[in-house]
Structure 1
Amino acid sequence: MQPDYKQLAVLQLCGLNARGGNLAQQDAIGISTQGEVPGKWQLWQHQTVAECMALNAEETLLVVADGVSSNPAAALASKTVVHYLLQQWQKTPFSSKQLRAAQSYLADTLGAKRQSFGAATTVAALAIKADRFIAINAGDSRVWRLREEQLQQLSVDHTFQNDSPELQQQDNLAQCYQAITSYLAADHEESDFAIAVSDGALLANDAFLLTSDGVHDVLTPQELSAFMLQSDMSLALEKMHQQLLARGAPDNASLLWLRIKG
């Protein structure tokens, strides 16, 4: 299926601390397009963004990165990686090699500075070209696909629980088991991180969603599916925004939601 029309929704907000103040924005999200608008790309790292736009490009790359707050320079790590991937995609077909190259670039730049050595970020990315898609992630940022009203997670959560077949069968584990085991870090010795890849054919009316954990830890898959099934994308985006705030928005939250019309 050759997509002839795409609609994109962008949502980003800062999380709230216990006193209701804004957390520092450590997520970064971006989009790059090729085709009718060659060389166009945009990166967001703001307190609040909520907008919908039409895309006419033949090829599209979406990226969501969530800086690891326990490491230094988390916001700079996510922004650096998104910026690198968006620009490199204009020159090189997207594959897991780009995540390896992004980690190497992160180590060369931020890793060379004492104050940012070890900066780290998760990444989830989706590339669409002609009638195919490829979804790639490292960490717990996610890529979802809605097809025929069924929401499927295409990415893999790299966490202690998910990495262990025994722990996967257990419920109500301590929070430490949800800690991420894979990410891009500004340290050349951390190059052996796990990457998950999923690819396949596009079908008419497919929709894709990329989320940081500030979204999918607050909204259930059933709720995300219900929002994505609404015909009015702008209204659904606003409802998602308000639902995140109503539940306290305990973390930075970022999403990119792409609808394809065949």
Structure 2
Amino acid sequence: MQKTLFISLALLSSTAFAAPKSELWSYWQQSDEQNPQMLSHELWQQVLSHNLSISGQNTLFDYKNISPQDRNTLTRYIQNQIAIDPRNYNQAEQFSYWVNLYNALTVELILENYPVKSITKLGSWFSFGPWDETITTINGKALTLNDIEHRILRPIWQDVRIHYAVNCASLGCPNLQPFAYTSENTQAMLEHAASEFINSDKGVDVKADQLQLSSIYDWYREDFGNEQQLLEHLSSYRPQLKNFKGTIHYQYDWSLNQK
């Protein structure tokens, strides 16, 4: 009986993934739209510039060979960010704050556990990945990666392009972008990230009368809508899909996005 239970749990943890719903954590909804101050993400940009490279349709992070200096820079960046109360800034600054922090925390998580083949191998024994594990504390509030994505970013901004901005350190994920998000470049970055992913094979692979889509579009039907609405979204970045008639399948590669 115990052996059967163990095998069942192992199979479940390796194949199943249920995306959390968007549920607002109202504490983080406050902002100061009159505050013109901009946050610096230069340290995060340094880490990206030194360790991210392009290989085909993927951007890969050099977890194996990151320098001690860059590890220190990443730690300093995260420490600087979590010492900030983001509610004191306007929403444009808050968006780039949360996206960059999410991505930086994910990179740090992989580095702390490297070598690892997939982020899904991290977390507690019964979990699929580390997303529900407390990863940082801001304003005395313990936060998980799921909190940042599903209780702050998604419900506050309600922009489907968030799914192209946050990175889960996996090849199937929309690419970790080579530039830090800022309040000034956010819209251009989101548009680029969406177009890049939808025009990649891992995002949308067209095969005659079949579409193989990223599982992101299946997990987050709540955000992308029904099949017609999803196709409208995809065709706005890839016009050939506008009149698609056929079957749709979903896939995802959880392999680490390592160089």
Do these two structures clear the TM 0.5 threshold for a shared fold by scoring above it? no
Report the structure number with the largest CA radius of gyration: 2
Which structure features the higher share of strand residues? 1
**TM-score normalized by the length of structure 1:** 0.28
**TM-score normalized by the length of structure 2:** 0.28
Q: Which has the higher contact order (CA 8 A, sep 6+)?
A: 1
